C-alpha cells in the first residue's frame, strides 16, 4: 500500500496496469522509500509472474531503471496459468 504506518525504507509493489509502473516508482520514492520495485506481470497480474515476462521498475536513491524479466532469468521454468490451477481446499 502507498500508506504504511511502519514507514518502510524498502518496498515491492504490484500494479494492475503497465502504464503505472514508472509513476508509482516515483511516488514511492517521494514518500521516502529508499529502495524499491514496482512490478507488472504481463498476463495482467499485479505481481511477478512465473507464467511469463514481468515488467519491473526498480529504484534506489532516486536512480530508476525499468526492464523486463522472465522466470528463466533466475533459473526458474515458466508455467502456463492452467498448470498453476489449484484444487480443492483440502488439496491446497
Structural domain contains residue 73: yes
Structural domain contains residue 52: yes
pLDDT digits 0-9 by tens, 37-53: 999 999 999 999 999 99
Q: The C-alpha cell of 19 is what?
A: 502504464
Structural domain contains residue 83: no
Domain extent, residue 15, equals 10-77
* Cβ atoms within 10 Å, residue 53: 16
| Total domains in the fold of the chain | 1
pLDDT digits 0-9 by tens, 6-17: 889 999 999 999
Structural domain contains residue 66: yes
Structural domain contains residue 92: no
Structural domain contains residue 21: yes
Start-to-end Cα distance in the chain: 27
Q: What are phi and psi of 19, to 5 degrees?
A: -65, -15
Amino acid at each position: 500500500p502507498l500508506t504504511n504506518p511502519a514507514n518502510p525504507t524498502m518496498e515491492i509493489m504490484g500494479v494492475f496496469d503497465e502504464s503505472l509502473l514508472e509513476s508509482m516508482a516515483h511516488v514511492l520514492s517521494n514518500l521516502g522509500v529508499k529502495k524499491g520495485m514496482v512490478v507488472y506481470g504481463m498476463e495482467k497480474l499485479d505481481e511477478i509472474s512465473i507464467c511469463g515476462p514481468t515488467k519491473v521498475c526498480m529504484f534506489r536513491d532516486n536512480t530508476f531503471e525499468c526492464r523486463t524479466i522472465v522466470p528463466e532469468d533466475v533459473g526458474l521454468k515458466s508455467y502456463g496459468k492452467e498448470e498453476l490451477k489449484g484444487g480443492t481446499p483440502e488439496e491446497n
